[in-house]
Structure 1
Amino acid sequence: MNLDAKDRQLLSLLQKDCRASNADLAEQVGMSTSACWRRIRAFEEAGLIAGYGARLRPEKLGLAFHAIVHVQLTRHDPAHLKRFIEAMSSRDEVEECYATTGSADYHMRVRCTDIDAYNRFMEDFLFPLAAVSSAQTNVILRNIKS
């Protein structure tokens, strides 16, 4: 799908506030409400828009501890990788998990209530996984851009 400047502006506005009314979006982009609605529908049908949701404030939910965890694996065979991936997908503490190149095999963004909860997550969940060799934690001090 080829995107023009209005398409990009519309997508940007939707990312900032997906609850904005079609009329407001159309006015900001400078098009009719029906044309705006058709473009958004086309974005959805083309798969450009994966879904709509609410951005939560984790600290207001009691999730004050935030870290990036770099995980190195000892075993890369399919069975261990599958268990590792399933384990990461099953835990609420793991907000994001990426397989990457470089010195670490996986990078995760983890949130917990506090350092004690994070320590339990590491000792009771991550380290017992057979594929995990080591993990390095970088505590996030403040969010610059999300």
Structure 2
Amino acid sequence: MELDRHDRHLLRLVQDDIGASAEQLAAQVPLSPSSIQRRLRRMREAGVIEREVAVVDPAALGRPTFFIVSLQVERERPELLNQLRRWLAAQEHIQQAFYVTGESDFVLVVAAPDTESYDALMGRLVSENPNVSRFTTNVALSVVKRGLSIPIPPHPAD
């Protein structure tokens, strides 16, 4: 899908606040509210906007602990990697999972209510995925920045 400068501007704005009304967005993008609604609908239908989510304050839920996990697998056979990917995607405490280059094969961001829950998750990971050879864990002491915004380059004509 070709994105013009207005689409790109809209994407920057809705990444910061998807709850902004079409009228509020129209105050910042030189388009009518109905045009903004059509553009957003088109971007949703095309898959440019994958999902709309709420960002929840961790303190409101008892301050979960964040763990950064590096996983190594024994074999990188496609069927084994796909099985592990499906398992990781199905776990509610795993916020993000990346297949990476370097010493590790996967890097995970895990938000668990406590270390016991994290330990149980990792126990299940190892027992249900025999291809996982080892993992290392870093515990986040504080959150400096948290987000999922994607930098949007300017339109080539700009």
Give the TM bin, normalised by the shorter chain.
0.7 to 0.9
Aligned to 2:114: 114
Report matched runs for 1:6-45 at 5 Å.
6-45=6-45
Tell me how far apart the structure 1 counterparts of residues 78 and 40 of structure 2 sit (CA, whole Å): 40
SS class of match (1:20): coil
Q: How much does 1:111 deviate?
A: 1.1
Tell me how far apart the structure 2 counterparts of residues 36 and 2 of structure 1 sit (CA, whole Å): 13
1:95 aligns with 2:92: no
Cα contact 1:65–1:114 (8 A) shared by 2 = yes
Tell me how far apart the structure 2 counterparts of residues 13 and 82 of structure 1 sit (CA, whole Å): 35
More moved, 110-119 vs 27-36: 27-36
C-alpha RMSD of the superposition = 1.9
- Any unmatched runs of 5+ in structure 2? 148-158
Cα contact 1:63–1:112 (8 A) shared by 2 = no
Q: How much does 1:63 deviate?
A: 5.1
Aligned to 1:57: 57
Aligned to 1:80: 80
SS class of match (2:108): strand
Tell me how far apart the structure 2 counterparts of residues 76 and 52 of structure 1 sit (CA, whole Å): 33
**Match for 2:120: what amino acid?**
R
- TM-score normalised over the length of structure 2: 0.79
Tell me how far apart the structure 2 counterparts of residues 80 and 40 of structure 1 sit (CA, whole Å): 38
1:3 aligns with 2:7: no
Q: Deviations over 1:120-144 (max 9, x none)?
A: 222x212222111111112122222
4+ residue runs of structure 1 moved beyond 4 angstroms? none
Q: Which structure is higher in helix share?
A: 1
Tell me how far apart the structure 2 counterparts of residues 86 and 33 of structure 1 sit (CA, whole Å): 40
Tell me how far apart the structure 1 counterparts of residues 83 and 43 of structure 2 sit (CA, whole Å): 35
Identity of aligned residues (%): 33
- TM-score normalised over the length of structure 1: 0.85
Q: How much does 1:108 deviate?
A: 0.7
The total of aligned residue pairs comes to 144
Tell me how far apart the structure 1 counterparts of residues 38 and 63 of structure 2 sit (CA, whole Å): 39
Tell me how far apart the structure 2 counterparts of residues 103 and 93 of structure 1 sit (CA, whole Å): 24
Tell me how far apart the structure 2 counterparts of residues 48 and 141 of structure 1 sit (CA, whole Å): 34
